[in-house]
Amino acid sequence: MMLIKHMRPILLSFLLIIGFSFTTQVQAHGGLSLADDMCKLTVGPYTMHFTGYQPNSSKEKEFCEDIPATGRTVVALDYIEEALRPLPTEVRVIKDTGSEENLDGITILHLPAKVYTNGSINFEHTFNEPGKFVGLVTSGKNQEHVSRFPFSVGEGSSNMPSGLVFAIAAALGGGAFFLFKVGKKPKDSSAA
């Protein structure tokens, strides 16, 4: 009983560390980040609001980073700073092959550089197969401002099956309950 009492803080710390490692995390993918419920794409000193939809599968549900499923995908990039409006902007989606040496060979969508005076770039693409991709947005007179953000299509948001996550959470909860239950001192019944 003494051993459990002395080990309790160590075991609780261990359970907390394990628990935190399995929590859902918001990860920035390159130039994309989630801030104040807005997906912001950083292009040099400028920012754009990124919104993606899959009207055939997820209706009006928006996504910010990874694309949940294959199929028709609509993307809107809205300028946040007015200073972007007179600058030519190019958009490219490429397969993530690990090399960008043959850019034209791995490009699946390309919007050549042009000025978007309305401050919004909208495009649609149908992803037929799941996989890893990279979005490239360049802006400026010499295309000097670049945002490069990797994303996946149709690969889910977690590498771990939800059943495994539930089992780990249940085990951690059970372990914590056991530690608290065993660590309590029994009530003295002779005081009555």
pLDDT of amino acid 26: 34
Residue type, 56: N
What does the alpha-carbon distance between residue 77 and residue 46 come to, in Å, rounded to a whole number?
A: 12
Cα–Cα distance between 150 and 65 in angstroms, integer? 9
Q: What is the mean pLDDT of each run of 10 residues along the chain (192 residues)?
A: 52 43 38 58 93 84 86 94 96 94 94 97 95 95 93 71 47 55 58 50
Looking at residue 58, its pLDDT comes to 76
Check if the beta carbon of residue 105 is closer than 8 Å to that of residue 92: no
Phi, psi dihedral angles at 63 (to 5 degrees): -130, 160
Instruction: Provide the pLDDT for residue 154.
Output: 92
Residue type, 141: K
> What is the structure's pLDDT at 66?
87
If you ran DSSP here, which 8-state letter would residue 42 be given?
E
What's the pLDDT at 86?
Answer: 96
Q: Give pLDDT tens digits for 109-145.
A: 999 999 999 999 999 999 999 999 999 999 999 999 9
Report the topology of domain 32-153: Immunoglobulin-like (2.60.40)
- The SS3 call for residue 38 is strand
pTM of the model: 0.62
Domain boundaries, the chain: 2-17+159-183, 32-153
